[in-house]
Chains A and B, each alone.
Chain A
Amino acid sequence: MPPEGQPPPEGTGSEAAGRVARGLLRAIVVLNALGGVWIAALMLLINADVISREALTAPIRGVPELVALSIVGIVFLQLAHTLWSGRITRSDSLLGRLMRTQPAIGHGLDALFHLAGAAVMAVLFWASLPYFQRAFDEGDYVGALGDFTAPTWPVRLIILIGSGATALTFLALTGRAASRAFRRSPP
């Protein structure tokens, strides 16, 4: 599946909507880049641990815990951009055919599907709030006291940021699909 960069939503009407969409795009590109850097850092960290363990018999403390937290962080930093790039898994052969033969129905269905995605992400955001709050207030950590500990609230915060950004991206894509559904088909 080749990466398909999607152009920013067009024809959604007002100037303001376009500005919001561009701002959102800039934000998710930044989040995505942070995730990319994090992957590289993760690779180096694990290698440092392996080398230090094998060569110096002194493993770096807390690497497994950091890896676990990192995966969650990376995924939620890059989720919105992955969606924007059209890389979230879906079976689009039937929908693609509908869009060609019955554009109004095809794009209308596509809009509904993206709206459903926005709903799931909004629910995830809302349901994750208390977990962030508790992690922040009570100082939840992974690891063992006296050896290595890492707080969990930063990753809980990234879940909030990522699910929020993904919900907004789903909404932007809903708007685009809807505008295509209502566009007069060319004669």
Chain B
Amino acid sequence: MTALDIGGIMLAAMLLLIWLGMHVGVALSLLSVVGVWLMRDNFVLATKFLALSAYDAIANHIFGVVPLFVLMGLLISMSDIGRDMFQVANRPLRRMPGGLGVATVAANAVFAAITGISIASAAVFTKVAIPEMLKLGYTARFATGVVAGSSVLGMLIPPSLLLIVYGFLAETSIGALFIAGIIPGLLLSLAFAALIFVLATRFPAFVGAPGAVARKVTDTGPQVGYLSMVPVVGLIVLVLGGIYGGFFTPTEAGAVGALGALLLALARGRRKAARAGVKDYWQVLIETGHVTVSICFLLIAASIYTRMLGLAGIPQHLVGLVESAELGFAAFIALYVVLILVMGTVLDSTSIMLVVLPLVLPIAQSFGVDLVWFGIVTVLAVEIGLLTPPLGIAVYVIKSTLNDPSVRLGDIFAGAAPFAAIMLIVLLLIILFPWLSLALL
């Protein structure tokens, strides 16, 4: 057997084991070690690869961004700031058709500029926005769909955990990826808002008939002044502006943002009669650790997997295949997006990128594409999987956070479907007009 055969068999076995439910990191490391062992007939060398990956793959200053941005997002999620954002966005919008839906999108877009995890957005806005929308007569299907759809903004608008992971895998500047995510994120927000407006005016049965109620209700809770947003917006400007202006490395921006988020949370805790106790802060710290570990463990596995693939010569082989098939660039991108959408039915976002990118990046480079643009395309395609069955994680998070048996999983998937369709259109636009992601760089 040639090295190429062994590599191919290992790759197929990995996919099978991951599908069966083996931990993704374990499957990648185990079969990579076995693959290197078989190819080189040297067990000690293979284990050395593993030990090297465990240290070298993550012993880098830049990996500080993972825990720090996660910490920042979780602190803000804990501190009820999402509710204020929603209330503020509500004030000017509540009387227009679908106004609360648009407010949810707007609040989510701002929230996304602080948090890098879509599921954090989904959890927060399930609690904040869905009860309000149901109260005003929106259908559960529409209300949950809006929250599911707009939660994907969390991963597109910087900071974004998926862009960070992509940056590691593609050895691309994380700062540049963050900046490139801004326009596509805003474009997607606008497209969502437009979709909601059209749904509310043309398909009132899907949305519900909140117009009559909304006009009567003038106030659904404590009014939150526009000025209360100043600290949060200040934090966003500081963090993203700091990266854009070159004052901070992304790691430093994460640390400054996390400290700022901590101060904001503490300040609010004082006003609202000790809303969060020491225990809650400790829980946030532990949760931050768990998210960091699960990502870094995958990155370690991805590092040894990439080494194994390289040793087997699989990436070069694929580049050769693509060249000899005279596959055009358009066909390549189309196949790539389809591949990711299909994998999205089985795997979570990070794992998809981990498995696919080491194989596809060499091909993309052989076409001479801009890797920053390719990153935005990848993340957007991967994120569509958050909304589509059977594995739409955003949908499951909403279901479990809502904890209301009358809202079925199928309802939420149905509600999210129009938003997934809009994402696909925006993805096409970004593919067709690369300047949408590259203009600010």
Contact with B along A34-72 (1 / 0, CB 8 A): 011101101110110110001000000000110111111
- Chain B nearest CB, measured from A6 CB (Å): 13
* Chain A residues within 8 Å of B19, by CB: 91, 94
* 8 Å CB contact of B22 from A1, A37, A64, A90: A90
Decide if A82 touches B290 in the complex (CB within 8 Å).
yes
- Chain B nearest CB, measured from A130 CB (Å): 8
* Chain A residues within 8 Å of B252, by CB: 46, 49-50
* Chain A residues within 8 Å of B66, by CB: 71
Interface footprint category on B? 35 or more
* Chain A residues within 8 Å of B29, by CB: 120
A161 at the interface (CB under 8 A from B): no
* Chain A residues within 8 Å of B259, by CB: 43-44, 47
If A43-B255, A79-B293 touch, whether A68 touches B119 (CB-CB below 8 Å) is: no
Q: What is the bound-complex CA distance between A20 and B324, given in angstroms?
A: 59
Q: Name the residue of chain A whose CB is nearest to the CB of B255.
A: A46
Contact with A along B237-277 (1 / 0, CB 8 A): 00000000001100110011011000000000000000000
* Chain B residues within 8 Å of A67, by CB: 61, 63-64, 251
B407 at the interface (CB under 8 A from A): no
Q: What is the bound-complex CA distance between A94 and B22, given in angstroms?
A: 11
Q: Name the residue of chain B whose CB is nearest to the CB of A36.
A: B285
Residue ranges of B at the interface with A (Cβ–Cβ < 8 Å): 17-27, 29-30, 33, 47-48, 50-51, 54-55, 58-61, 63-64, 66-68, 71, 119, 247-248, 251-252, 255-256, 258-259, 282, 285-294, 296-298, 346-348, 350-351, 390-391, 393, 397, 400
* Chain A residues within 8 Å of B286, by CB: 32-33, 36
A interface secondary structure, majority = helix
Q: What is the bound-complex CA distance between A75 and B67, given in angstroms?
A: 10
If A88-B294, A90-B24 touch, whether A127 touches B51 (CB-CB below 8 Å) is: yes
Q: What is the bound-complex CA distance between A173 and B68, given in angstroms?
A: 30
Interface footprint category on A? 35 or more
* Chain A residues within 8 Å of B282, by CB: 36
Q: Which interface residue of B64, B68, B400 has the most chain A CB atoms within 10 A?
A: B64
Q: Name the residue of chain B whose CB is nearest to the CB of A126.
A: B47
> A36-B282, A88-B294 provided; 16 other pairs, C-beta below 8 A?
A37-B285, A43-B68, A46-B251, A47-B259, A68-B61, A79-B297, A82-B297, A89-B24, A113-B21, A113-B23, A120-B30, A120-B33, A124-B47, A127-B48, A155-B55, A159-B54
Q: Name the residue of chain A whose CB is nearest to the CB of B27.
A: A116
